[in-house]
Structure formats: structure tokens, C-alpha cells
Amino acid sequence: MSDAAAIGPDEQPTLFYQPQVTADGGRFVGLEALLRARQPDGAITGPQEMLAAIATPEEADALDWRILRQACGDARRWPDLSVAINISARQFQHPDFSARMLALITEVGVAPTQIELELLEGTIIEDFGRASATMEALRGHGVRIALDDFGTGYSSLSYLQKLPLDKLKLDKSMVEGVGNLKAAAIVQAVTALSRALGLKVVAEGVETQEQQRFLKIAGCHYLQGYLFSPAVSADAVDELLRQRWPRAAPG
């Protein structure tokens, strides 16, 4: 099935992008691509119903590659920003994923260093050896790898040392808890360990200035959340760049 295959007549997949900014909120460094559904009347909704309607692995594959193609294409609009894309375990564990991903990047004409693939812990533990080899192949061409939703699994700490990662993303649940002494101590410890290992740290789900201040002091490099911007269309990203933020080098 073509990666451009339609998902259905009623809802069409589209991508919105949520900004990632420096810890002081002063510079725009990247974006996370997030799937949305465009309704027949033009309204934008979450993707849950559209995803639930996928009936076969082939349809799921088609949607995955459609998302990857659109995100890589959109990234060319922002050559000095990174674009993070969530990758399903099914795709990442496929033996030819790295080769196909690199071929897509070349075909679209985006710089590999702009592309960041976000992986959940479950994506890795299905086949640790294969996941590590795929990461190495992608990173060898400049693609960056982030461990997403850190704090929601059980074995993640060991991955920071064992896997060829570039970034760690603190889950929203960890950020929400920083007002609690124990939770704050965990965030500080994880951030310090990540920095010592040479990883960039991104905190997602930042919604208050108090959270921003704590995360900046704790040593997080980049922040993402409603305090700065919700996920918006590619055109709205262009407007944010014109009106609000100077750009920084890709994160």
C-alpha cells in the first residue's frame, strides 16, 4: 500500500506542531509533530476516532509513512529548527526501517540533522539489540533519537547508559509533580544524570511559570507545553516565528 493512501472519506490526517523553546522561553529550537484529524467541515480534532478506524496493519503502515513524509516535507520550511516525529514500535522494529527512513529523507530533500525520532520505552524493549542497531544506523547519518515519555516506564534509567540516544523527554506527569518535594528531587536527579551522559533534556507539558522556573533551575535544556503554545498548523508556526521568537540552532 502506498504511503500516500487515504485513511477514509470522513476524516483526513494532518499534522500540527508544538514548539520547543529554550528553558528561559526566549528562543525557538524545534517542533514536535502531532497527528490531528481534519473533519469534512474543516474542523480539527484529535486523531482517536481516525486511529480506531484503522483495520489492518497495512493501513497503519500507510498512515505512519504518510505522517513521516509530511513531517519531513514541512521541516524544509524551517531549516534551522528540528522536527520531532513519534515512531510506532511496529515501524521502528521493522528490519528495513532505517534504510527506508534515510531514503525518504533523501527523496524529500530535508537535512537529516533536522529530523528527530521519538521512541517510547516499549518500542525499545521488544528487541533491544535491533533497536540499538537501528538507532546507530540513523544517527550515523545525522538523524537524532529521543527517548519519549520518560518517567512512565520501569527500566528507562538503564537505557540512558546503554542506548545511543541524543535526547530525553520528561513526561508531563513528572512535570506536573514538581511542586512535590520527592517528585522535584527525581526530576533534578534524572536531569543531572542525563546531562552528565551528554543528553539534552526536554520537559513536556509545561503549563505554569512556576514549572518553567523550576525546570530551568534543574537544568532542563528545552521546554514544551501550553505555557508557550499549543500544537498549531504549519502556517501558524510561520506566524509564531515572525511575531514571537527569534530562532536558535536546532535542538
Which of 19-33, 70-84, 120-134 comes out lowest in average pLDDT? 120-134
Which of 3-12, 102-111, 218-227 comes out lowest in average pLDDT? 3-12
pLDDT band (50, 70, 90) for residue 5: very low
pLDDT in tens, 163-187: 899 999 999 999 998 888 988 999 9
Q: Give 57's strand partners.
A: none
Task: Write down the pLDDT at residue 155.
Answer: 58
Grid cell at residue 71: 513531517
Residue 116's H or E segment, with its range, is: strand 115-119
Task: Write down the pLDDT at residue 219.
Answer: 97
- Sort strands 115-119 and 144-150 into parallel, antiparallel or unpaired: parallel
Q: Quick check: 8 pLDDT over 60? A: no
Task: Write down the pLDDT at residue 6.
Answer: 46
How far is it, in rounded angstroms, from Cα 148 to Cα 159? 12
Task: Write down the pLDDT at residue 161.
Answer: 82
Neighbours of 136 (CB within 10 A): 13
Q: Quick check: 200 pLDDT over 60? A: yes
**CATH, range 12-243:** 3.20.20.450
How far is it, in rounded angstroms, from Cα 110 to Cα 170? 27
Grid cell at residue 64: 505512519
Q: Quick check: 208 pLDDT over 50? A: yes
What average pLDDT does the structure give for the chain? 88
How far is it, in rounded angstroms, from Cα 114 to Cα 249? 10
Q: Quick check: 249 pLDDT over 80? A: no
For residue 145, count CB atoms less than 10 angstroms from its CB and return exposed for 0-12, middle for 13-18, buried for 19 or more. Answer: buried
Per DSSP, 112 falls in state: G
Neighbours of 242 (CB within 10 A): 8
Task: Write down the pLDDT at residue 2.
Answer: 44
What is the length of the chain? Answer: 251
Q: Which residue has the cell 518517567?
A: 151
Segment 199-210 shows an average pLDDT of 96
Q: Would you say 15 and 70 are in contact if contact means Cβ atoms under 8 Å apart?
A: yes
Q: Cα-atom radius of gyration of the chain, to the nearest Å?
A: 18
Q: Quick check: 199 pLDDT over 80? A: yes
